[in-house]
Structure 1
Amino acid sequence: MRWNSRINLVAARDTAQIWDRHVLDSLQLHSLLSSRETIIDLGSGGGFPGLILAICGSEDVTLVESDSRKCSFLREAARAAETTVRIVNARIEDVRLAPADVVTARALAALPQLLDWAEPLLLPHGRCLFLKGRKADEELTAARSRWHMMITRTPSRTDPDGVILGLSQIKRVSPLNC
């Protein structure tokens, strides 16, 4: 809460619900992961979901955040929680990382943009876990014009309109097949 007043980690209207709205929402991904999977969390901001997953036992988590002030918060939060994460202070489109098993994101961008960012960061067998709200179907429709993928849906336990989209076998649609 101290950091939030200076660098806006979560919206002011959400501070009274930080546990349910942010922490528990992020924790939903924990049961969909093995502790040995490598994770890249895009737009980590206040550590949701990447830092939460690391605290819960994910062993190889990279947090990508362009705001250096938020990166300072993430370093301090990881230190205080006695957990290890790699923090990359860079714009997502500029980052060059070894591909991971899983790419996560929460409240960052629409699905077509997320896939543009995530695809080069995934191992061939990799998958994405994206926490999405009531516009998930619209975003999937928009993404299908540019991407082929296998989709699993896990209903959110914290938001009646929310869903966790599990995306695998992600391939860009060939311009010749449009």
Structure 2
Amino acid sequence: MQKSPGVALNGLRVSRETLQRLETFADLFSKWAKAINLVAPSTKDDLWRRHIVDSLQIYQLCPGNHRWLDLGSGGGFPGIITAICLAEIGEGWVHLVESNNKKAAFLRTALLQTGGRGSVHAVRIEDAAAVVPDCDIVSARALADLDLLLEYIEPWAIRNENLKALLHKGRDYAEEIDKAHGRWRFDLVKHESVIERDSVVLEITGIKRLNASSSR
């Protein structure tokens, strides 16, 4: 069956089927956000640009059949958006890690109603490696500074030398990179955000902890 032509969201193209899933998610998000705090109140009225499209760029940096791990999934960004994109190709999977039970319930409902390809794990990030032992890509958005994020990601990087991390970062990202280099060695590609001029998506591979002697 021929698919409908795609549509553009801030220059990012999606199919009409994916757009419909995103609209379903946006409606659900608006209902749940009245009862629980899913995103910063100051950004809630700009849902599509600040959150949905901002998350969409993550998947479009690395589309295809991959095993994703989304840390601190919160209101579903970027994890649910990635799961919706995977639904179109019928391959790949997202493991969403969110320790807050109310937010985890929202994420499960969102996957069910949109048909997104994913599952929710209501555990602390520090305990997630026991539940989700393997993945290809780790994503995180508005979660922690880079040094701590690499600490979180390390268990999966040890198991998979080809692991890739795709991490949203704001205007202070250069300082975070400098700080992280004090404890970590990694390869880095910076992708300019399609949403915010001063923001980037950091594509990080080859994550290894520096030992005490090599960091001096």
1:34, CA displacement in angstroms?
3.0
Q: How far apart are the structure 2 equivalents of 1:176 and 1:88?
A: 37
TM norm structure 2: 0.80
Cα distance in 1, alignment partners of residues 59 and 149 from structure 2: 20
Residue of structure 1 equivalent to 2:47: 18
Q: Could you tell me which amino acid in structure 2 is paired with residue 33 of structure 1? A: C
1:114 to 127, 144, 149: 149
Q: Would you say the 8 A contact 1:99–1:120 is kept in 2? A: no
> TM-score under structure 1 normalisation?
0.96
2:204 is aligned to 167
Q: Separation in 2 of the partners of 1:7 and 1:108? A: 18
Which residue is equivalent to 2:92? 59
Distance 1:84 1:134 in 2: 32
Partner in structure 2 of residue 83 of structure 1? 116
Tell which structure's C-alpha radius of gyration is larger: 2
More helix by share: 2
1:101 is aligned to 136
Shift of 1:176: 2.0
SS for the counterpart of 2:162 is: strand
Alignment of 1:132-171 (within 5 A): 132-171=169-208
Say which SS state the counterpart of residue 158 (structure 1) adopts: coil
State whether structure 2 residue 121 is matched by structure 1 residue 92: no
The answer to whether the 8 Å contact 2:54/2:194 transfers is yes
Is the Cα–Cα contact under 8 Å of residues 44 and 65 in structure 1 kept in the other structure? yes
CA positional deviation for 1:129 = 0.3
Aligned residue for 2:35, secondary structure, equals helix
Q: Is the 8 A contact 2:104 2:122 kept in 1?
A: yes
Percent identity over paired residues: 39
Partner of 1:127: 164
**Aligned Cα root-mean-square deviation (Å):** 1.1
- Distance (Å, rounded) in 2 between the aligned partners of 1:121 and 1:23: 26
Instruction: State whether structure 2 residue 107 is matched by structure 1 residue 70.
Output: no
Structure 2, unmatched stretches of 5+, are 1-29
Q: Which amino acid aligns with 1:116?
A: E
List per-residue Cα deviations over 1:38-80 (Å, max 9, x = no partner).
Answer: 1100000011001101101162110000100000000111111
Show the counterpart of 1:9: 38
Give unmatched runs, 5+ long, in structure 1: none
Q: Is the 8 A contact 1:39 1:104 kept in 2?
A: yes
Shift of 1:32: 1.4
Question: Which structure's residues are more often strand, by fraction?
Answer: 1
| Partner SS, residue 177 of structure 1 | coil
